[in-house]
Chains A and B, each alone.
Chain A
Amino acid sequence: MNAGIDTGDTAWMLIATALVLMMTPALGLFYAGLVRSKNTLNTFMMSIAAIAVATVTWAAVGYSLAFDGGGALIGGLGNAFMQGVDFAPREGTAIPELVFFAFQATFCIITVALISGAVVERMRFGAFLVFAALWSVLVYAVLAHWAFGGGWLISGGTLDFAGGVPVEMASGFSALAAALVVGARKEWGRQALLPHNAVYVLLGAGLLWFGWFGFNGGSGFSTGQNSVLAFTNTLLCPACTLVVWFALDLIRGRKVTAIGAATAIIVGCVAITPAGGYVSPGWAMLLGALAALPSYAIIVWRTRTRVDETLDVLAAHGTAGFFGILFIGFFAQANWNGVSDGLFYGNAAQLGDQALAALAAPIYAFVVTFVLLKLIGAVMPLRATDREEAMGMDVVQHGEEAYVTGEGAILLLPDDVGKAAVPVADPG
């Protein structure tokens, strides 16, 4: 074992990395339940695609741009193609840089997958793959550098424990841009487009919560106090969001809804993401309770607009991430986090640092995503045709269906395959 490596820290970070990787299929399940049955596989596959694409871009340049050196705006290329990423401890931690690399990769992956929620049911799969590759470098790696890797936010004093900037606000505001560029589904605003399986939604949210203990609990890169605090806050905060969400549902519709509960779990986990290692358990519970309010309001308001940000990534991630980042500025407590106090404990400057991040990250993510998708759209069509959208993206994009019965399916022997009827994606 290399000098400076802590076996306990390393063991925990290996597990935490696996927990965070599991969050992406869990997100796929969550999203798949929220769409119509004819788009189940395509929606799930966008999350799987994020694992494929973002891992490759992360190994190639993403990790290096995020974590090599302390440049204000962007890292260097010293770790490009994983050069020098080996068993030696990552600076500032007692874990091998290889583990640090993998842990951070899982963050990039899930962030890319999150944005897919804005464009499901109509974006072409190929265009999404291209978008995922470019976004993971141009937006995720840059914001990860700002908030984690030594860039201007972290060196200026902004506290972001587990990714309020590069994960939550980045995905939320990029999702808004993506929804605006790709455009609404053709029936949006005219017909009710309902979730097809609320059980998937609840199970997906539950698995996301489970994985989030690795996401937040691992973001101290150790088994130290901040990690333990973040771990327990990841239980407390979403539970309080759930309670408040139940109350809001009861007031508004006299019934507590299942999909509302699943949404509340996500909102609570997101809110504690930036603040996990910095606020006391009591404040984490208040954070969870309060974070429900703006997200709930935006979900109710958004469905009355023309914007088809389909699965409410902005409300769940952008808004709650924004709220969590600002909350640190008020209620951070040095005797819990060992780093800094917030306004409530006499350090107003911390709120200023947090506000800066809450302003910069949404603007950067929105603008770059908007321009990036416009450019991709100039080269290839971003969305399926109306006819394809009506048939469902599963059959059109993947040639498979989620709930196939097998009745009427005729086996094609290898010799017949070329002679068979035209595949449905190309009925001309």
Chain B
Amino acid sequence: MKLVIGIVRPEQANQVLEALHRAEVRGFSMSRVQGHGGEVERVETYRGTTVQMGLSEKVRFEVAVSDSFVDKAVSAICEGGRTGEVGDGKIFVVPLDHAVRIRTGDTDEGAVTPVSR
């Protein structure tokens, strides 16, 4: 089991969702985050106060998957998130010790595998 964390542009988030859906990755969560990854900073001016925006809005996907789905999830996030310009984001894959489905008490692989309702 792995936790795949993908940090992408907010405007690409819907593309990532589509790609994950096509890859049959069904369970994930997403959140809005702010980050900095070396992209060209934006300069904004508010009534004469000029600021350099060091943080950019990003969307963070977290997908817990069984080992056979890791590559699918990673390539789906890559495919959906890529524009080719600096600032497209990063993907991190980290090991996952334990998972529990709250409703049933299923653990580990059983907890991260979708069930048909």
Contact = CB atoms under 8 A, between A and B. Distances in A.
A408 B43 contact: no
Contacts of B43: 399, 412, 417, 420-424
Interface in A204-253: none
Interface stretch (A14-22, A165-173, A387-395): A387-395
Interface in B40-77: 40-46, 49-55
A422 B40 CA distance: 7
Contact of B44 (A38, A390, A395): A395
A400 B45 CA distance: 7
B107 interface: no
Contact of A410 (B9, B54, B85): B54
Contact of B40 (A401, A408, A421): A421
Contacts of A38: 11
Given A191-B14, A407-B34, A412 B40 contact: no
Interface in A184-215: 187, 191
A421 B45 contact: no
B51 A409 contact: yes
Given A387-B83, A390-B83, A391-B11, A412 B52 contact: yes
A187 B52 CA distance: 29
B56 to A, nearest CB: 8
Contacts of A379: none
Contact of B52 (A392, A401, A420, A427): A420
B90 interface: no
Interface in A410-428: 410-412, 417, 420-424, 427
Nearest to B50: A412
Interface residues of B, number: 22
B11 A390 contact: yes
A404 interface: yes
Residue with the greatest number of chain B CB neighbours at <10 A, chosen from A191, A401, A410: A410
B52 A407 contact: no
A410 B44 contact: no
Interface string A16-52: 0000000000000000000000100000000000000
A15 to B, nearest CB: 31
Interface string A374-409: 000000000000010011100100011100110111
A410 B52 contact: yes
A391 B39 CA distance: 13
B85 A421 contact: no
Given A399-B45, A410-B51, A424 B34 contact: no
A417 B44 contact: no
A186 to B, nearest CB: 10
Contacts of A405: 34
Contacts of B49: 411
A417 B14 CA distance: 35
Interface in B1-46: 9, 11-12, 14, 34, 36, 40-46
A395 B45 CA distance: 10
Contacts of B34: 405, 407-408
Contacts of A400: 44-46
Contacts of A427: 40, 85
Given A191-B14, A399-B44, A427-B40, A417 B50 contact: yes
Contacts of A408: 34, 36, 53-55
A172 B44 CA distance: 35
A401 B54 CA distance: 14
Contacts of A187: 14
A229 B54 CA distance: 58
15 contacts: A390-B12, A390-B83, A392-B11, A395-B44, A399-B43, A407-B55, A408-B34, A408-B36, A410-B52, A411-B49, A412-B50, A412-B51, A422-B40, A423-B43, A424-B43
Interface of B: 9, 11-12, 14, 34, 36, 40-46, 49-55, 83, 85
Given A399-B45, A409-B53, 20 more contacts: A187-B14, A387-B83, A390-B9, A390-B83, A392-B11, A400-B46, A401-B44, A405-B34, A407-B34, A409-B51, A409-B52, A410-B52, A411-B49, A411-B51, A417-B50, A420-B41, A420-B52, A421-B40, A423-B43, A424-B40
